[in-house]
Amino acid sequence: MSEATVDYRPMWNELGLNLEAHDELLGVLSQSYSDIFMKQKNRPEGMAYFDFVMSEVHGLRIKELMDAKRDGRKIIGTYCTFVPEELVIAVDGVMVGLCAGADFALEEVEKILPRNTCALIKSTFGFKIGQVCPYLEACDMVIGENTCDGKKKAYEILNNLVPNFYAMDMPQMKTAEGRVLLKSEYLKLMAKLEELSGKTITIESLKKAITIVNNKRAAVQRLAQLRHADPAPVSGLDSLLINQVYFYDNPVRFTESVNKICDELETRITENSGVYPTGTTRVLLSGCPMAVPNWKVPSIIEGMNAVIVGEESCVGERGFQGEVSTEGETVNELMDAIVDRYLQIDCAIFTPNSQRLEHIKEMAEKYKADGIILYSLNFCAPYLMESFNIEKELENSGIPTLRIETDYSQEDNGQLKTRIEAFIERIND
């Protein structure tokens, strides 16, 4: 997305990218980034860092990953917030999120996956088949988790396309047996990471890694809390962007940059200044994760003089809540602490998943949301199924709620705009 002065093409070539297709992708991303983000008014100064990261997301950050590889560090790609970054950092590895938020090579993808697969999975395949994702190509190991049926079965196919693919099983229920399964999967993953890196995880390396990730989570949680203010000190779009960068950036540098912008937002709150006027309609978004560059629905909402005040999503509070205790005296005790924290993630793949509804209600209250938009990708059975009951429960509690179902195309823009506009009018009546 950059108007890069450095020529990264030799590096992209070395990674085996299709340079022509990659240029095309960067062109589209660059345009939508400037249309959606750079046109916002009164952005916090601290957003300059995240604009820079995005401008170099396929450039400087990839160079950093390649430098790390040359230093013998391993790059681990993931598709889910259930993969503990703590374990990767504890073997001095670098973890990167691989979920993609744009359609690519759709025609080719639909030759190997059913059409009625969610956009997030199709996009993963499109970026691989089209050879346009330098993160994926830089990975020494790619971890796929058995969460929803779509991912689970798609990974059987991805396994043939990606070298060093590692499948991780997942429980479906948060029972004692589910906990045992998750712990045993985390122990297997730990052993695999040790084997791959040639490093042994020690109590010291694991404690240090836990602290790094706890600090990163604490920073994004701090940002989330500041969004309770009216006027909102930062837009939902910029907050989402920070939450998306969470998955790509160097964790320590990211944490510092988020804390820096939080300092600025605190000053804004003290001065009663914000990005939108006081009393602007406040919306909470809840549902499927939004990976870069999936900004479609947030930009529609904020284009209608409403502000998004929180994301109940894995690219948001669902993914970042809770910290891992560093209290243990052995690696095994710390592994228990990791399992305890991760088992709190209220993803819709779990049954029952009543915790999620409670969390949505809590967030609505904490961030003073006037209404909630339940966002699901087409064909995402877990989130679509849950959305009916959640809508009913929220409406019964007096919280206006809108259920939407969409994908990564722009074809339903008009319809979404009409429905979201009507919803905002309903809230304001």
The sign of the torsion formed by the CA atoms of 290, 291, 294, 295 equals positive
Q: Is 377 helix (H, G, I), strand (E, B) or coil?
A: strand
For ligand BJ8, the binding residue among 102, 120, 182, 338 (CB under 6 A) is 120
Phi/psi at 326 (nearest 5 deg)? -105, 20
For ligand BJ8, the binding residue among 53, 133, 232, 345 (CB under 6 A) is 345
- 232 vs 288, which CB is nearer to ligand BJ8? 288
Q: Pick out residues in 19-58 that bind ligand BJ8 (CB under 6 A).
A: none
* Bridge partner list, 310: 284
Encoded one letter per residue, x for contact with ligand BJ8 by CB under 6 A and - for no contact, window 181-220 reads ----------------------------------------
Q: How far is the CB of 424 from ligand BJ8 (least distance, A)?
A: 25
Q: How far is the CB of 428 from ligand BJ8 (least distance, A)?
A: 31
377 forms part of the interface with ligand BJ8 (CB under 6 A): yes
Encoded one letter per residue, x for contact with ligand BJ8 by CB under 6 A and - for no contact, window 380-399 reads x-xx----------------
320 forms part of the interface with ligand BJ8 (CB under 6 A): no
- Cβ neighbour number for residue 129 with a 10 Å cutoff: 19
Question: Pairing between strand 165-168 and 141-145?
Answer: parallel
In 227-353, which residue ranges form alpha helices assigned H by DSSP? 236-245, 251-270, 296-302, 317-320, 331-342
Q: Do 307 and 235 contact (CB within 8 A), yes or no?
A: yes
- 367 vs 383, which CB is nearer to ligand BJ8? 383
- 108 vs 149, which CB is nearer to ligand BJ8? 149
* Bridge partner list, 282: 307
Binding segment for ligand BJ8 (CB under 6 A), chosen from 100-108, 113-121, 218-226, 304-312, is 113-121
Task: Count the site residues for ligand BJ8 by CB under 6 A.
Answer: 20
- 52 vs 388, which CB is nearer to ligand BJ8? 388
The gap from C-alpha 141 to its chain's centroid, in whole angstroms, comes to: 19
Query: What distance in Å separates the CA atoms of residue 293 and residue 304, rounded to the nearest whole number?
Result: 20
Q: How far is the CB of 286 from ligand BJ8 (least distance, A)?
A: 11
Residues 6+ apart with CB under 8 A from 105: 21, 125, 126, 129, 130
- Cβ neighbour number for residue 391 with a 10 Å cutoff: 16
Q: How far is the CB of 254 from ligand BJ8 (least distance, A)?
A: 19
For ligand BJ8, the binding residue among 206, 209, 241, 314 (CB under 6 A) is 314
Helix axes 236-245, 203-226, angle to 10 degrees: 170
For ligand BJ8, the binding residue among 15, 88, 95, 148 (CB under 6 A) is 148
Q: How far is the CB of 321 from ligand BJ8 (least distance, A)?
A: 12
For ligand BJ8, the binding residue among 147, 197, 235, 243 (CB under 6 A) is 147
Q: How far is the CB of 146 from ligand BJ8 (least distance, A)?
A: 10
Query: Cα angle vertex 279, ends 278, 285, to 5°?
Result: 110
Q: Pick out residues in 271-290 that bind ligand BJ8 (CB under 6 A).
A: 288-289
Q: Pick out residues in 347-366 that bind ligand BJ8 (CB under 6 A).
A: 347, 349
Q: How far is the CB of 62 from ligand BJ8 (least distance, A)?
A: 23
For ligand BJ8, the binding residue among 75, 100, 118, 427 (CB under 6 A) is 118
Q: Where are the beta strands (DSSP E) in 67-173?
A: 75-78, 94-97, 141-145, 165-168
Q: How far is the CB of 66 from ligand BJ8 (least distance, A)?
A: 26
Using alpha carbons, select from 401, 386, 246, 232 the residue that is nearest to residue 316: 246
Q: Do 373 and 400 contact (CB within 8 A), yes or no?
A: no
- 289 vs 293, which CB is nearer to ligand BJ8? 289
The kind and range of the H/E element at 31 are helix 19-36
Binding segment for ligand BJ8 (CB under 6 A), chosen from 23-31, 114-122, 221-229, 241-249, is 114-122
161-187 b/e with 16+ CB inside 10 Å = b? ebeebbebebbeebeeeebebbbebbe
- 120 vs 275, which CB is nearer to ligand BJ8? 120
**Which residues bind to ligand BJ8, rule: CB under 6 A?**
80-82, 118, 120-121, 147-148, 150-151, 288-289, 314, 345, 347, 349, 377, 380, 382-383
